[in-house]
Structure 1
Amino acid sequence: MTEKLQKVLARAGRGSRRELEAMISQGRVSVDGKVAVLGDRVTGREQIRVDGHQIETQAEADVMCRVLAYHKPEGEVSTRKDPEGRPTVFDRLPKLQGARWISVGRLDVNTSGLLLFTTDGELANRLMHPRHEIDREYAVRVFGEVDQAMVQRLLKGVMLEDGMGKFDTIKYSGGEGMNHWFHVTLKEGRNREVRRLWESQEMQVSRLIRVRYGKILLPKDVPRGGWSEMPLDQVNYLRGAVGLTAEKETKVEVDAPKRHKQLTQIRKAVRRHNTRVKSGGTNAGTGASTGPKKKPAAPKRARNPKQKPKTRL
């Protein structure tokens, strides 16, 4: 069975189909040594190169769709490599053979919370496409007074530098003094859109946490920097939401004791990573100090009540 070349490359996480069609038209893709053209079909077992780099591809029937829910901490960038040497969201993910993790969108360096990864590039591209209208929910802390007129403007829509933007819902969650928490939802994933919407109202965002993607919630039992692989029903919810066929296999342990053991291993891996990755005297992504620890003071010996105190001269 053959598939369009751009579909096979999209599944391998090389970009959206539209982006890949442009690459093929520009002569940047080859199949078994020949420059590809639009309309080429492949099985996925050919030698395919993009800009001279060989791409690992598999036939659709050979690929198991896996999805991770990652608890991103602040301080990590959403790229595979960072020229400034900052930690990335890919650093702590489990290693794969014959596949790679593809992020479903991005969170900026100062945003924490739920970030999805999958081995299926087609699923990732569809989840990110605005036509499927998968809503995202964020907990956001803003500094300043928010009035009803401001809320109505954010719900109706405000003009940003890249077009109109708006929240679908805004719910007040409490606060103290000038700091107020809100839960907001929107169906787009434009760069820094949540922050830019609040900033359009001259409000400063001091904390931003993604807590939900569609029906997938940020797992409460996963620490910052940890991940949890989704069970089959959640994977198929995501696939169904974007019009893909259901998956039949999973690598997730359904046995409760084994699942508990896996979460324990994840927490240990997070702690090891935090102590190993150091940046400016702090653990990357956590802000915990890794500087030299002071030797604890020896406990004072209790004075014998019958003994007279020494007099200093």
Structure 2
Amino acid sequence: MTEKLQKVLARAGKGSRREIETLISQGRVSVNGNVAHLGDRVTGNEPIRVDGHLVETQPEGEIICRVLAYHKPEGEVSTRKDPEGRPTVFDRLPKLQGSRWVAVGRLDVNTSGLLMFTTDGELANRLMHPRHEIDREYAVRVFGEVTEAMLQRLRKGVMLEDGMAKFDTIKYSGGEGMNHWFHVTLKEGRNREVRRLWESQEMQVSRLIRVRYGKIELPRNLPRGGWAEMPLDQVNYLRSEVGLTNEEQSKVDVHASDRYKQVAQIRKAVRKHNSRVKGDGAGTGAAAKKPAPTRPRSPSQRQKRKTRL
């Protein structure tokens, strides 16, 4: 059985199918020592090289579909590399061998909350396609006076620069002063759609958090910048929603004690990552602080410490 060359290379973590098509058209991919062309099909057993480097490929049936739930903080961009040097959502993810994480959609730099990643590019593509109508829920804080007429327009639909858009549901969640929280749902993932809908009513969005994708909720115990791998039942729920067959294997240990241990490890990894990022800028300017001097211990204190040890 053969597959499209770009699909095999995407599964091996060499880029998206569109990126790989560009590599092929540039003559940077070879199969059996011959320059590849768009439309080529392979079995996966042939020697495939990208820029002269041999690619380790795996048959589709041997790949375990894995899905991560990531708690994206504000300030991270949803790209692999940023020309401005800003942190990306891929920086903290666990490393993979022979495959890569594919983001299921995007959240803009000022939006936080649930962002999913998977090793299955087909699953990611289907989850993002609007024909499957998977609803997304956001907690949004707006500044200003919200009227019933505004809410009716947002439910009925307003014309944006890229077409009609609306919220499927809008639920008031409280607030004080001029700040009001709402929970809204919609079945699309257009660029900045939630913000643009509120802005069409001359309302300013001051916080935006994605809290749910389909039936998958942002885990309450997941810290900002942390990730958790989904168990098999959640993976298969996502696959069934878009017409893919169920997975039979998972890399997640379902024992409760191990799950709690994983949360502790995630929190530790987040703290380590944050301290490393801060440490990269230490000592580079006049504002860099020197470590506080250690206060000397008296002989009696040293004796007490020795006794405790």
- Bin the TM-score by the shorter chain: 0.7 to 0.9
SS in 2 for 1:278: helix
The CA deviation string for residues 127-175 of structure 1, in whole angstroms up to 9 with x for no partner, is 1111111111000000011111111111111111111111111111111
Matched, 1:148 2:171: no
State the 1:21 CA deviation. Answer: 10
The CA deviation string for residues 11-33 of structure 1, in whole angstroms up to 9 with x for no partner, is 456436xx479759956674503
SS in 2 for 1:99: coil
Question: Is the contact between residue 66 and residue 229 of structure 1 (CA under 8 Å) also seen in structure 2?
Answer: yes
The CA deviation string for residues 35-82 of structure 1, in whole angstroms up to 9 with x for no partner, is 3243x3222344456788876543211211100000011111111111
Q: Give 1:60's aligned amino acid.
A: E
Paired position in structure 2 for 1:118: 118
Question: Is the contact between residue 25 and residue 37 of structure 2 (CA under 8 Å) also seen in structure 1?
Answer: no
Matched, 1:216 2:241: no
CA RMSD of aligned residues (A): 2.9
Could you say if the C-alpha distance between residues 101 and 25 of structure 1 is closer, same or farther in structure 2, counting changes exceeding 3 Å? closer
Paired position in structure 2 for 1:68: 68
Matched, 1:228 2:228: yes
**Distance in 1 between the 2:281 and 2:234 partners?**
39
Question: Is the contact between residue 29 and residue 48 of structure 1 (CA under 8 Å) also seen in structure 2?
Answer: no
Could you say if the C-alpha distance between residues 235 and 146 of structure 1 is closer, same or farther in structure 2, counting changes exceeding 3 Å? same
**Distance in 2 between the 1:291 and 1:170 partners?**
47
Could you say if the C-alpha distance between residues 264 and 146 of structure 1 is closer, same or farther in structure 2, counting changes exceeding 3 Å? same
Question: Is the contact between residue 141 and residue 208 of structure 1 (CA under 8 Å) also seen in structure 2?
Answer: yes
Identity percentage of aligned residues = 75
**Deviates most, 55-64 or 74-83:** 55-64
Could you say if the C-alpha distance between residues 121 and 205 of structure 1 is closer, same or farther in structure 2, counting changes exceeding 3 Å? same
The structure carrying a bigger helix percent of its residues is 2
TM-score of the pair, normalised by structure 1: 0.82
State the 1:253 CA deviation. Answer: 0.9
TM-score of the pair, normalised by structure 2: 0.83
**Distance in 2 between the 1:229 and 1:211 partners?**
17
Question: Is the contact between residue 10 and residue 122 of structure 1 (CA under 8 Å) also seen in structure 2?
Answer: no
Instruction: Describe how 1:35-74 pairs up with structure 2 within 5 A.
Output: 35-38=36-39, 40-48=40-48, 57-74=57-74
Question: Is the contact between residue 6 and residue 21 of structure 2 (CA under 8 Å) also seen in structure 1?
Answer: no
SS in 2 for 1:277: helix
SS in 1 for 2:185: strand
State the 1:280 CA deviation. Answer: 11
Matched, 1:15 2:16: yes
Question: Is the contact between residue 170 and residue 183 of structure 2 (CA under 8 Å) also seen in structure 1?
Answer: yes
**Distance in 2 between the 1:160 and 1:279 partners?**
43
SS in 2 for 1:97: coil
**Distance in 1 between the 2:279 and 2:137 partners?**
30
Gaps of 5+ in 2: 283-287, 294-309
Paired position in structure 2 for 1:176: 176
Paired position in structure 2 for 1:130: 130
Could you say if the C-alpha distance between residues 29 and 244 of structure 1 is closer, same or farther in structure 2, counting changes exceeding 3 Å? farther
Question: Is the contact between residue 9 and residue 20 of structure 2 (CA under 8 Å) also seen in structure 1?
Answer: no
Could you say if the C-alpha distance between residues 242 and 20 of structure 1 is closer, same or farther in structure 2, counting changes exceeding 3 Å? farther
Gaps of 5+ in 1: 283-289, 296-313
Paired position in structure 2 for 1:90: 90
Paired position in structure 2 for 1:194: 194
SS in 1 for 2:150: helix
